[in-house]
Amino acid sequence: MKELYNYRQMIFSLVKKDLRGRYKGSVLGFLWTFINPLLQLIVYTLVFTTILPVADIDKYYLHLFVALIPWIFFSSSLTGGSGSVIAHKDLIKKIYFPRAVIPISYVTSCFVNMLLCFIVVFAVVILFGNGINFVAFLYLAPIMLVEYILALGVALISSAVTVYFRDLEHILGIITMAWTYLTPIMYPIEQITENPAVPEWFKSLYMLNPMTPVVQAYRDILYHARVPELSTLLSAFLLGITCLLAGCIIFSKLQRRFAEEL
């Protein structure tokens, strides 16, 4: 831990490099950070209001938007994070530094991206939202932190395992897709919890998804303009910490042979 702190400058410069390099050479450059989620928003809104309408929701685009941006952060940490260690193999094979620096800086750069997108989210919420609850807004920072912890835990695992098992990178594509639908992003959570057609066992499994309480909390704060329930926050926090611990243990076990496997 202390060592990681000593290498904070490295994390910082990797994040900077990543953010700068991401859209290098494209005409719109950094604007893609905003355009990409907005386009996704348009597609999903079109699909789920006109083609396959889900439950009747007021301002569906907003309902979706406040969940979509955090989800993009999480899913890109998971899929992009898995290749991050391999992408830096030249560095790993030749020089020592705490290996966790790499997934940490990748997740952090995704996180910074999300924060930038939140500028747009705030603008939309202020202009078209269901009012602003300042007390609820105070909960935004802790929930972001919890999501960061969660994303980091997942990225630590996926980045380390991918080194030994390269298929994971491809498998993760389908896993994220499934995960997208198993999280209440495009539909309200009541669709599952209050739907008699959904069997009980599925409901309890569904609630184990660590992203469910996170997304739920975002939606409470930004869409419903209300303080999230304590139970939601607590379960999000506990699942996040568990995930991070598991990530740390797995990563520290697997990283010993990185230089040989790469």
Check: CB of residue 133 under 8 Å from CB of residue 224.
no
Q: Is residue 94 involved in binding another protein (CB under 8 A)?
A: yes
From the list 231, 235, 82, 229, the residue with the least C-alpha distance to 168 is: 82
* Angstrom distance (rounded) from CA 248 to CA 27: 39
Nearer to another protein, 160 or 244 (CB): 160
Q: Is residue 2 involved in binding another protein (CB under 8 A)?
A: no
Q: Is residue 23 involved in binding another protein (CB under 8 A)?
A: no
Q: Is residue 253 involved in binding another protein (CB under 8 A)?
A: no
CB of 168: closest distance to another protein in angstroms? 9
Check: CB of residue 152 under 8 Å from CB of residue 107.
yes
3-state helix, strand, coil in the chain (%, to 5): 80, 0, 20
Q: Is residue 7 involved in binding another protein (CB under 8 A)?
A: yes
Q: Is residue 97 involved in binding another protein (CB under 8 A)?
A: yes
Nearer to another protein, 166 or 203 (CB): 166
From the list 154, 160, 181, the residue with the least C-alpha distance to 74 is: 154
Q: Is residue 256 involved in binding another protein (CB under 8 A)?
A: yes
Both tokens of 2, joined, read 């202390």
Check: CB of residue 250 under 8 Å from CB of residue 157.
yes
* Angstrom distance (rounded) from CA 121 to CA 223: 11
Widest Cα–Cα separation across the chain: 58
Q: Is residue 93 involved in binding another protein (CB under 8 A)?
A: yes
- One residue of 1, 27, 51, 95 binding another protein per CB under 8 A: 95
Which residues, 6 or more positions from 96, have their beta carbon under 8 angstroms from its beta carbon? none
Q: Is residue 259 involved in binding another protein (CB under 8 A)?
A: yes
* Angstrom distance (rounded) from CA 69 to CA 116: 10
* Angstrom distance (rounded) from CA 62 to CA 64: 5
Nearer to another protein, 127 or 256 (CB): 256
Q: Is residue 10 involved in binding another protein (CB under 8 A)?
A: yes
- One residue of 91, 207, 227, 246 binding another protein per CB under 8 A: 91
From the list 64, 82, 68, the residue with the least C-alpha distance to 36 is: 68
The letter for the amino acid at 11 is I
Considering only the stretches 10-18, 76-84, 115-123, 239-247, report the one whose residues sit in contact with another protein under the rule CB under 8 A: 10-18
- One residue of 43, 46, 126, 166 binding another protein per CB under 8 A: 166
Q: Is residue 175 involved in binding another protein (CB under 8 A)?
A: no
Considering only the stretches 26-34, 55-63, 165-173, 180-188, report the one whose residues sit in contact with another protein under the rule CB under 8 A: 165-173
Q: Is residue 12 involved in binding another protein (CB under 8 A)?
A: yes
Q: Is residue 6 involved in binding another protein (CB under 8 A)?
A: yes
Nearer to another protein, 8 or 203 (CB): 8
Question: Which chain residues interact with another protein by CB under 8 A?
Answer: 3, 6-10, 12-13, 17, 21, 24, 90-97, 165-167, 256-257, 259-260
